[in-house]
Amino acid sequence: MDDGPMGGGGGGGGRQREPADTDALYKVLGVDKKASDSDIKKSFRRLALKKHPDKGGDPEEFKKIQAAYEVLSDPEKREKYDKYGLEGLEGGDMPEGGMDVFDLFFGGGRRRARGGKRKAEDTVYPLKVSLEDLYNGKTAKLAITRSVMKGEPKKCTTCRGQGVVVQMRQIGPGMVQQLQSRCPDCTGGYRVQMKKERQVLEVNVDKGASHNTKLRFSGMGNESPNAEPGDVVFVLQQKEHATFKRKGADLLLQKDISLSEALCGFKFVVRQLDGRQLLVQSKPGQIVRPEVTSGVPYVMCVEGEGMPKHGNPFDKGRLFVLFTIVFPPNYSLGEEQMEMLKTALPPAINDEGYDPETVEEAMLDEIDLNELGKGQGASGDDDDDDDEAGHNGQRVQCAQS
Give the pLDDT means over successive 10-residue stretches in the chain (401 positions).
40 45 87 91 86 72 84 86 74 44 50 59 94 96 93 87 79 75 82 91 94 92 87 95 95 92 93 96 89 78 94 92 85 81 82 85 81 69 50 44 38
Question: What DSSP character marks residue 187?
Answer: B
CATH number assigned to the domain covering 21-107: 1.10.287.110
Give SS3 for 19: coil
Q: Is 243-375 CATH 2.10.260.10?
A: no
Predicted confidence at residue 111, as pLDDT, reads: 47
- Structural domain spans, the chain: 21-107, 243-375
Q: Which DSSP string do the residues of 209-259 spell out, in sequence order?
A: --TT-EEEETT-S---TTEE---EEEEEEEPP-SSEEEETTEEEEEEEEEH
Q: How far apart are the first and last CA of the chain?
A: 89
Rounded Cα distance between 217 and 7, Å, is: 4
User: With a threshold of 0.75, does the pTM exceed it?
Assistant: no
The pLDDT value recorded for residue 190 is 84
Q: Is the dihedral of CA 352, 356, 358, 360 positive or negative?
A: positive
CA pair distance 28, 70, nearest whole angstrom:
12
| Helices and strands of the chain, counted as H and E runs | 9, 18
pLDDT of residue 300: 92
